[in-house]
Amino acid sequence: MLTRTLLLQMAQNRSLETFARKNSLAARLARRFIAGETLEEIVTPVRMLNQAGMTVTLNYLGESLTSAKDMERMVITYLDLMSLIRREQLKASISLKLTSLGLDMDPKLAQQNLEHLVEVALPDIFIRIDMEGSAYTQTTLDIFYTILKKRPEYRNHLGVVIQAYLYRSEADIEELIRLKARVRLCKGAYKEPPSIAFQKPDDIRANYLKLMQRLLLEGNYPALATHDLQLINAAKLFANEHNISKDRFEFQMLYGVRRPLQQQIAKEGYNIRIYTPFGDHWYPYTMRRLAERPANLWFALQSIVRK
Ligand SMILES: Cc1cc2nc3c(=O)[nH]c(=O)nc-3n(C[C@H](O)[C@H](O)[C@H](O)COP(=O)(O)OP(=O)(O)OC[C@H]3O[C@@H](n4cnc5c(N)ncnc54)[C@H](O)[C@@H]3O)c2cc1C
């Protein structure tokens, strides 16, 4: 049986990636979680989500880049993506990782690349800095704070992500609320040690709930990123009880994950944004999604066979 651990190990295996990228079955399987490999391919799926009442945040796959050439390609792709969003009038923002903009090479370089992208994105395209493993938390927040300090008017154009599994997040949320910064709250996707992070699902959920309530009460249009029905229902109830209108926050979910729930939330009149990755580096991302719920592998295979 394919276990979560095995799938996560497979996600990091370069030879398997090379094999999978040449294999059409694997590529079709990835399509459940990836909108396309090229910019042209993403237009139709994004438009379909928009027509179903959902906005989108687009992420060009690729992380931990260490070559200047790959990084340049990344920046150029984001510039092309912004042109595409405008040309096709897509209701879409951008999510990116600082390691894909050169953070591992030089934090200053990543900051410069980010500032350049935000300048081009203004005034109509929002950019969210995804949060990576704990080795990057402080640097990522430092870069965000430095930019906000220089350009407070970017507050509504650039946002960050806070992970509920980290003990430090409660203090980070208070600082971000004070700065009126835009925050996406998620549980956290990386393996972190007990010295810095909650480990038990119930503890992570309890901290998410606490931080979510703070953001709903005091935050600047928080984004609640989760597929956890218990948390989604708690958010709706809390907002209702505190007269927080539906336009003051949004839910966020991943492309291809719990689609009926996504549609239901949109139909109920809540704002919902779908994190939509694209690009040819789809293998590790797809494997991580399958690892979250190995049963998806069989559902995806069945749907391919039925076609
Ligand atoms: C929009 C968005 C942006 C994110 N950005 C970041 C980020 O910047 N940094 C970061 O560390 N993490 C990020 N994450 C990932 C996040 O931290 C979690 O790892 C991930 O969302 C799983 O947690 P959950 O809250 O959905 O709850 P879980 O407890 O994992 O899941 C709740 C329910 O959803 C179902 N579910 C979960 N995943 C799947 C799946 N793949 N297929 C089918 N059902 C599934 C489960 O079966 C379960 O019933 C992001 C998540 C989202 C949705």
Tens-digit pLDDT profile for residues 58-69: 999 976 667 888
**Integer CA distances (angstroms), 150 to 142, 258, 306, in order:** 12, 40, 55
Residue minimizing CA distance to atom 32 of ligand 1 = 228
Q: How far apart are the CA of 226 and the centre of ligand 1, in A?
A: 5
d(C-alpha 135, C-alpha 104), whole Å: 11
Burial of 198 (0-12, 13-18, 19+ CB in 10 A): buried
pLDDT of residue 65: 66
Q: How far apart are the CA of 152 and the centre of ligand 1, in A?
A: 31
Mean pLDDT, all residues of the chain? 92
| Amino acid in the structure at residue 138 | Q
Q: Is pLDDT above 60 for 1?
A: no
pLDDT band at 275 (very low <50, low <70, confident <90, very high): very high
Helices then strands, each counted (H, E), the chain = 13, 8
Q: Is pLDDT above 90 for 27?
A: no
pLDDT of residue 25: 75
Q: Which of 160-174, 212-226, 275-289 has the lowest mean pLDDT?
A: 275-289
> Ligand 1 within 6 A of 131 CB?
yes
DSSP 8-state code for residue 300: H
Q: Are 90 and 47 within 8 A, CB to CB?
A: yes
pLDDT of residue 10: 82
Q: Is pLDDT above 60 for 166?
A: yes
Residue 130, helix vs strand vs coil: coil
First to last CA, the chain: 25
d(C-alpha 24, C-alpha 8), whole Å: 21
Nearest to 283 by CA among 4, 1, 30, 9: 30
Q: Is pLDDT above 90 for 4?
A: no
Nearest to 91 by CA among 305, 296, 225, 276: 276
Q: What is the mean pLDDT of residues 36-56?
A: 97
Q: Which of 31-40, 145-154, 281-290 has the lowest mean pLDDT?
A: 281-290
Q: Is the peptide bond before 123 cis (omega within 30 degrees of 0)?
A: yes
> Ligand 1 within 6 A of 228 CB?
yes
Q: Is pLDDT above 80 for 140?
A: yes
- The predicted-structure confidence for 223-235, as pLDDT tens digits, reads as follows 999 999 999 999 9
Report which ligand 1 atom has the smallest distance to the Cα of 253: 53
> Ligand 1 within 6 A of 182 CB?
no
The domain defined by 34-277 folds into: TIM Barrel (3.20.20)
Q: Which residues are annotated as a binding site for substrate?
A: 97, 288-289
Catalytic (active-site) positions: 130, 184
Q: Where are the domains of the chain?
A: 1-30+282-307, 34-277
pLDDT of residue 305: 59
Nearest to 216 by CA among 183, 192, 253: 183
Element (H, E) at 17: helix 14-22
Instruction: Provide the pairing of β-strand 55-60 with 223-225.
Output: unpaired
> How wide is the angle at C-alpha 112 spanned by C-alphas 273 and 183, nearest 5°?
30
Q: What is the mean pLDDT of residues 34-40?
A: 95
pLDDT band at 307 (very low <50, low <70, confident <90, very high): low
Q: Are 255 and 33 within 8 A, CB to CB?
A: yes
> How wide is the angle at C-alpha 242 spanned by C-alphas 159 and 198, nearest 5°?
55
